[in-house]
Amino acid sequence: MPNTKSAKKELRKSSKRAIQNKEEKVTMKKTIKTNRKAVVAKDKDLSSKLLKESIKTIDKAAKKGIIKKNTASRYKSRLQKQVNKLK
């Protein structure tokens, strides 16, 4: 447990940030999952539409430092490949 006033405040801040980061990561993974489901269903229009949304959320997570830059690139690349196979 933190002893000083500043340490207590830092604990509050870090727990708030952890919750926000978790929410961001969950939304990112949900968009990726829905995109992959559309690819499996072979829905070209929906998958290309969801691809834009997925890339946006992935970039946002990478910018905030929730995932690393190369991880974001890998996610985007794999999604793009799957969508391109449909076309």
pLDDT tens by residue, 16-66: 999 999 999 999 999 999 999 999 999 999 999 999 999 999 999 999 999
Q: Which CATH number fits domain 21-86: 1.20.58.110, 2.60.40.10, 1.50.10.10, 3.30.450.30?
A: 1.20.58.110
Q: What is the mean pLDDT of residues 70-77?
A: 97
Q: What is the pLDDT, as a whole number, of residue 9? A: 96
The token duo for 74 is 């890998």
Confidence of residue 87 (pLDDT cuts 50, 70, 90): confident
* Of 63, 50, 51, 72, the residue nearest 21 (C-alpha): 63
